[in-house]
Amino acid sequence: MNMMKRVIAAFMLMGVMLLPLAGGVQAAERFKPFVLASQGPGDFDAKVQETRDALSGAGFEIVGEYSPYSDTFVEKAYVIIVTNDELKKAAAMSEHGGFAAPWRVGITQLAGEIQVAYPNPIYLANGYRLKTDLSGVSDALKQAIGAQETFGSKKGLTVRKLRKYHYTFGMEYFDDVYELAKYPSHQKAVDTLEKNLAAGVGGVTKVYRLDLGDDVTVFGVQRKSGAQNEDEHMDDKWVMNNVDFADPRGTAYLPVEILVDGNEVVALHMRFRMALHYPDLKMMGQNSFMNIMPSPKAMGLAMTRVAGGEE
């Protein structure tokens, strides 16, 4: 009996000794793709101006802005694109880091309420394999326009998952880009894009241009079917109408970027970029990737055309 008591006591002591170890083992932190800065009633145009002023006052440089669509599945939508020194510095530190230099802030009116949201800097910093977590950008945006909650994924993704993200087997990773065109020089590539974007080749037009130095230039573009009879599957509005159905809305997914890196013109593959921003989208069913199956090819073709590449 005494032996049994000693065994039980030993097990109890062992359990006490292990408690600190068990408490130290915590689940890895998870992050979601978007940050909701604010939400509530108000005047839309006034909110756009308020957001613009707040961003400028916080040291962000506004590089472009536009309305991607309105009076459709949302009442109004507007996007302001900004950058700052931290974003530019981070972009120069890693391959294709230029995709992260411009930051998007979306203002969306739906059912009389106005939502202001932006991509989560820590989430995208890891998804784009940057050598920094952009925590300073996150803090600056929070101070400028707010940060009520993160959204866009029920459970969120860990840093480890984000660093090697792809939606599923056979889908593209961050470095599986659209290779749109190649030119004798950076300047030739930029000049060709400027000319073709102005002409709306492939249904693609310019929203902004951001020159980062070291022969790196980012173009934000809008893709729209219409006068030139482009495939509707390349149209930003058509795609977002299919995938951006949950509240809050991910209007700040737009616009997409075309990167001129040296003499090469590339863009993030839609099957990576959209999946990263909307990781909970189902593969099949209503509001799923199946509904936009033709879009990655159609968008790649449209951007190849505007870049002057070979189809």
**Cα–Cα distance measured from residue 159 to residue 126, given in angstroms and rounded to the nearest whole number:** 6
Domains of the chain: 30-307 (3.30.310.70)
For the chain, how big is the Rg over CA atoms in Å? 23
Which pLDDT does position 36 carry in this prediction?
Answer: 98
Mean pLDDT, to the nearest integer, of 294-303?
Answer: 96
- The CA-CA-CA angle for residues 69, 248, 100, to 5°, reads 70
Phi, psi of 218 (to 5 degrees): -115, 130
As given in the structure block, the two tokens for residue 285 are 């069913």
Which letter, b or e, does each residue of 133-167 get, where b requires 16 or more Cβ atoms within 10 Å of its Cβ? bbebbbebbeebbbbeebbbbeebbebebbeebbb
**Dist CA 209 CA 202 (whole Å):** 18
Query: Order of strands across the sheet with 61-66?
Result: 61-66, 76-83, 103-110, 113-119, 34-40, 149-151
Residue 103 and residue 121: Cα distance in Å, rounded?
A: 9
CA 297 to the chain's CA centroid: 19
Place of tokens 């530019």: 88
Beta carbons within 8 Å of 282's beta carbon, 6+ residues apart: 288, 289
Look at residue 19 and tell me whether its pLDDT is greater than 60. Answer: no
Residue 274 has pLDDT above 50, yes or no: yes
Q: How far apart are CA 98 and CA 109, in angstroms?
A: 30
pTM of the model: 0.90
Task: Give 268's contacts (C-beta < 8 A, 6+ positions apart).
Answer: 99, 174, 177, 178, 256, 257
**Which region among 38-52, 96-110, 197-211, 229-243 has the lowest average model confidence (pLDDT)?**
229-243
pLDDT for the residue 24: 39
Q: Hey, is 248 helix, strand or coil?
A: coil
Whether residue 33 is predicted with pLDDT greater than 90 in this model: the reply is yes
| Cα→Cα distances 31→75, 122, 159, 163, Å | 29, 8, 8, 12
Q: Flag the least confident range among 12-16, 186-190, 251-255, 303-307.
A: 12-16
Q: Is pLDDT above 90 for 27?
A: no
Q: What is the mean pLDDT of residues 2-9?
A: 44
Which two tokens mark 18?
């292990």
